[in-house]
């Protein structure tokens, strides 16, 4: 069995809310587990506020988990700090969502892209400038543009620069936090295509965070669906898209315009997403689930699998059409 590149066990992140009478806690992430072999790709989907960005930030240790474990390349990096953490960083990189905020406006493209090389003391053969040029070409930009400044580029181009920066240290893992959500639809296709080809050609493992199922489907071999801080379903691409079992996954798929989902009858979920300050007891989704039963409010379902690698956290996983 191949060693997993990345293993995430029971990741938890709670934020304390300041200034309230009682000690209120935001349950941003409440027990997320998955693993990722080298060179594989995993998509994490969910609506806003489900905690997927927090998971992304924890994996690259921009945020420290409140609980759980992160094992990267066989090493427990959960609570690493300082020197040891910085030694690991070049091997895991992140791409951010907002192309307008992820580049320092006072730094030229060359400076931004070369930053990971400089701070880690990496001196590529042929010089930094040449390496930056190579990276820019890799993402479809002109190497001569490296002396220009971010404000001279469009959103899509800036995102490419961000990708070039993430590739600079030849990481083994890239986490992409909603890399196309801020871009026009037509540009999204290009960037997604770029990510996909890069991932395959360079053999980098990829965790792609997003809320657009169509995008995820194009790139990722495995898919995890998150809701309110927990994974409600995880499986191979074919499993999730062809026979989704969790009602929430079904609803998400049905909401994709023109999606080729099984039983694409639209389902209206009731109510608003619950607040992460007070997640519903039992199954977190039960307040909105059309299939809920009394048991759902009392007992939290485990993420268990029936067949293959697909696992669902539901007491009544769906195998057929909506009742």
Partner 1 sequence: MTGGRSDDRAIPTTGRLPAPIGRTAGRSPGSLAWARLRADRTAVVNGWILIALIIVAAAAPLVEALYGIGPQDQFQGQLDRYGMPIGPLGGISTQHWLGLEPGLGRDIFIRLVYGLRTSLVIATIATLVTITVGAAVGLLTGLVGRWTDGVVGAIIDVALAMPFLIVALTVVPTLTQRFYGPRDAVPPSFQAFSLILVFAVLGWAGTARLVRGQVLALRDREFVDAARAGGAGTTHIICRELLPNLTAPILVSASLALPAYIAAEAGLSFLGIGILEPTPDFGRMIQRSLGYLQTDPVYVLIPGSVLFLVVLAFNLFGDAVREALDPRAGGSGAR
Are 209 and 175 within 8 A, CB to CB? yes
Residue 142 or 278 with smaller CB distance to partner 1: 142
Residue 114's alpha-carbon distances to 72, 121, 154, 194, 243, in angstroms, are 24, 11, 20, 20, 44
* Stretch of 44-52, 136-144, 275-283, 300-308 lying at the interface with partner 1 (CB under 8 A): 136-144
Q: Is residue 133 within the footprint of partner 1 (CB under 8 A)?
A: no
Half-sphere exposure of 1 toward its Cβ, with a 13 Å CA cutoff?
Answer: 4
Min separation Cβ 9 and partner 1, Å? 22
Tell whether residue 196 is a contact of partner 1 (CB under 8 A): no
Q: Does 182 bind partner 1 (CB under 8 A)?
A: no
Q: How far is the CB of 18 from partner 1 (least distance, A)?
A: 8
- Characterise 18 by phi-psi region: left (phi > 0), alpha (psi -120 to 50), beta (else): beta
CA distance 147 to 152: 11
The reply on whether position 148 binds partner 1 by CB under 8 A is yes
Q: Would you count residue 187 as binding partner 1 (CB under 8 A)?
A: yes
Beta strands in the chain (DSSP E): 4-17, 24-37, 41-45, 67-72, 75-76, 92-95, 173-177, 205-210, 222-227, 230-236, 304-305, 311-312
Tell me which residues in 88-127 interact with partner 1 (CB under 8 A). 89-90, 93-94, 96-98, 101-108, 112, 115-116, 119-120
Contacts to partner 1 by CB under 8 A? 57, 60, 62, 86, 89-90, 93-94, 96-98, 101-108, 112, 115-116, 119-120, 140-142, 144-145, 147-149, 151-154, 156-157, 162, 165, 169, 184, 186-187, 190, 193-194
């Amino acid at each position: 069995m191949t060693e997993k590149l990345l293993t995430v066990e029971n990741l938890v992140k709670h934020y304390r809310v300041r200034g309230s009478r009682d000690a209120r806690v935001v349950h941003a992430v409440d027990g997320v587990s998955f693993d990722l072999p080298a060179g594989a790709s995993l998509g994490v989907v969910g609506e806003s506020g489900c905690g997927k960005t927090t998971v992304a930030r924890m994996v690259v240790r921009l945020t420290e988990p409140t609980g759980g474990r992160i094992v990267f390349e066989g090493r427990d990096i959960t609570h690493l700090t300082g020197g040891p953490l910085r030694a690991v960083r070049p091997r895991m990189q992140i791409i951010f969502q907002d192309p307008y905020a992820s580049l320092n406006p006072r730094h030229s493209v060359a400076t931004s892209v070369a930053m990971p090389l400089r701070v880690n003391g990496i001196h590529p053969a042929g010089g930094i400038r040449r390496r930056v040029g190579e990276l820019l070409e890799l993402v479809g930009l002109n190497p001569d543009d490296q002396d220009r400044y971010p404000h001279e580029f469009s959103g899509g181009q800036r995102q490419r620069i961000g990708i070039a920066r993430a590739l600079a240290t030849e990481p083994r893992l890239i986490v992409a936090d909603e890399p196309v959500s801020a871009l026009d639809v037509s540009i999204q296709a290009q960037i997604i295509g770029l990510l996909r080809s890069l991932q395959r050609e360079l053999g980098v493992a990829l965790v792609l965070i997003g809320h657009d199922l169509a995008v995820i489907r194009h790139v990722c071999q495995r898919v995890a669906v998150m809701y309110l801080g927990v994974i409600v379903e995880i499986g191979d691409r074919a499993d999730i898209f062809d026979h989704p079992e969790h009602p929430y996954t079904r609803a998400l798929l049905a909401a994709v315009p023109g999606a080729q989902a099984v039983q694409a009858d639209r389902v209206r979920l009731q109510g608003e997403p619950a607040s992460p300050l007070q997640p519903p007891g039992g199954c977190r989704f039960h307040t909105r689930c059309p299939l809920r039963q009394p048991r759902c409010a009392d007992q939290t379902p485990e993420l268990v699998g029936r067949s293959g690698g697909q696992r669902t956290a539901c007491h009544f996983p769906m195998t057929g059409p909506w009742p």
